[in-house]
Amino acid sequence: MFTGTPDELKQRESQARNIAGRIAMLLDDLDALGLGASNGQLHTPGGIIRPSGRGWTVTNR
C-alpha cells in the first residue's frame, strides 16, 4: 500500500501511465509482425491497456 504524500502519488501515477504507454507500443510492434493479433486487455497501475481500431491505447481506470 502506498503511504507517501499526495504529490508523490501523482508522480508515481504519471510514471505508471508512461510505462503503460510503452507497453502499448510494444503490443503494437507485436501485432505488426502479422502473426495474429493480440486481444484482451491488461490492467496496470497506469491504467487499462486495450486494443483499439488503430493498435493499443491506455485509458484511465
Q: What is the pLDDT of residues 18-44, one digit of tens each?
A: 999 999 999 999 888 888 767 788 888
Record the cell numbers describing residue 23, joined without a space: 507497453
Whether 1 and 29 have beta carbons less than 8 Å apart is answered as: no
Cβ atoms < 10 Å from Cβ of 58: 20
Query: Residue 54: pLDDT above 70?
Result: yes
Rounded Cα distance between 20 and 30, Å, is: 15
Give pLDDT, residue 15.
95
Rounded Cα distance between 30 and 15, Å, is: 23
- The model's pTM is 0.74
Taken in order 46, 48, 54, 55, the sign of the CA dihedral is positive
